[in-house]
Amino acid sequence: MSTEISALHRKQKNEALVEVCSVRVGITLFGIPIQHILEIVGSARPQPIPLAPGFVGGLIHYRGDVLTTVSLRYLLDLPPLDSAQDVLVLESAAGCFGLQVDSVGEVLTVSGVDFEPNPSILEERRRALLAGAYKLKDSLLVMLDPERLDPARLDPARPGSAPRPDRAGPTAAPAA
């Protein structure tokens, strides 16, 4: 019986396919589940906001609204870029926001069998931002959870800013 349940679990895990949009920040390939992406705004230059927390990349106009953008480079302790970055408009429980990335790649379909959770040695701040990784043929696709990147949940008092414990809410883990 135990063997049958184990085989069924492996089969369900193999069938769990997830479509993700691949993005690059620095040399790292990241993935964001496409169901959270409303649009990709290419070559955006957000307007800076005086006295805003460091993770706030600025404001952009989006379909008649003004969106706050989050700098993924800042959250990952990477130096800022002087050139325009791509912005993904993401939808979260608290509303829409923009995520600044170096470049947007393609939509990839990944299998739950290739998913690995965050390693236990990963520092707490990064563990709070990252949702694990998928093994690809020649690299890793590090998963981002838009709920964890929402500016309403990031803590302006912490350098690198991990989600605030008082606003943690549910986190979406990839289907395994």
Which pTM was predicted?
0.78
Q: What pLDDT is recorded for position 81?
A: 87
The CATH number corresponding to 2-145 among 3.10.450.50, 2.60.40.10, 2.40.50.180, 3.30.470.20 equals 2.40.50.180
Q: Where are the domains of the chain?
A: 2-145
- Smallest Cα–Cα separation from 112: which of 143, 146, 138? 143
Please tell me the distance from the alpha carbon of residue 126 to that of residue 118, in angstroms, as a whole number.
Answer: 9
Token digits of residue 48: 């800076």
Q: pLDDT digits over 52-74, tens only?
A: 999 999 999 998 889 999 999 99
Q: Is the pLDDT of residue 176 over 50?
A: no
